[in-house]
Structure 1
Amino acid sequence: MSASPETLVTAADRLLLPEAGTVTTLGPGQRARAAAVLLRMALDQALDAYWQQVTPSMTRIGKHRMLCLEWYAGHDTARRCRTTWAALSAACHYRTYELPPAPTEIQTRLLEVTSLLAALRGSPGTTSVTSAGGA
């Protein structure tokens, strides 16, 4: 059994801001990268839960669920999901020639994921194509 998206966000928050007196063996960059992994997992699980309510077949292919989200959850929510998921994906990857993500950057992403969890938990599939579309 996997942890809920909210549990993953809480764990990421604890990694980013450990309690006073907590001994940490990981540096701030490593904790930020680990928190980014947890946040991306939380967003993936929230998207799966959203699509499970709308149409279960959309949980099979990640690209399709992101592309079609605009017509079901609205333009703003879909844009925020794409942007946040891409930023977290970039932060998760280790590259020897790049510095790890800054804890403040991942803390900002944590707030965005928390907001997206609430938006995706709302009534799925109620946004019409005409209200979600547009330039």
Structure 2
Amino acid sequence: MSTSPETLVTAAGKLLLPEPGTVHTLAPGLRARAAAVLLRMALDMALDAYWLRVTPSMTRIGKHRMLCLEWYAGHDTARRCRTTWTSLSAACHYRSYELPPAPAEIRARLLEVTGLLVALASEDE
């Protein structure tokens, strides 16, 4: 079973802003970390789909696809992808000496991932 990046972004949004009346069994920081994982997965899937359209051999090595993105998708999109992916990666990792990510920070990343999904889907080959 496969899911779309948009579905992951929607699920992350529900974790960050649950519907009224929802029982909260997880602390806000844990929900923010879980949302960060979903958002990074969505960004990775969008990058895979982009590279499959542009040149399928680029999906094999993650580091190369991020480095080469600037020449294919433009400087702004590449910078936004690098910055967002890096901050989401940092938010995903649990460290006992750090606080969990703030929900407001992950909400901002949710908006950025949503914009990147649109930008990567609309890029011309």
Give the structure-2-normalised TM-score: 0.98
Q: CA RMSD in A?
A: 0.6
User: What are the residue-to-residue correspondences of 1:5-84 with 2, within 5 Å?
Assistant: 5-84=5-84
Shift of 1:3: 1.1
The equivalent residue for 1:4 is 4
Q: SS of the counterpart of 2:99?
A: coil
Which structure has the larger Rg? 1
The equivalent residue for 1:132 is none
The equivalent residue for 1:100 is 100
Aligned length: 125
Verify the 8 A CA contact 1:5 1:41 in the aligned structure 2.
yes
- Give the counterpart letter for 1:97 in structure 2: Y
Verify the 8 A CA contact 1:12 1:36 in the aligned structure 2.
yes
Shift of 1:74: 0.1
**Cα deviations by residue, 1:13-72 (Å, 9 ceiling, x for unpaired):** 000000000012100000000000000000000000000000111000000000000000
Unaligned runs of at least 5 residues, structure 1: 126-135
The equivalent residue for 1:133 is none
Shift of 1:111: 0.1
Unaligned runs of at least 5 residues, structure 2: none
> Identity across aligned pairs (percent)?
82
- Give the counterpart letter for 2:53 in structure 1: Q
Q: SS of the counterpart of 2:3?
A: coil
Give the structure-1-normalised TM-score: 0.91
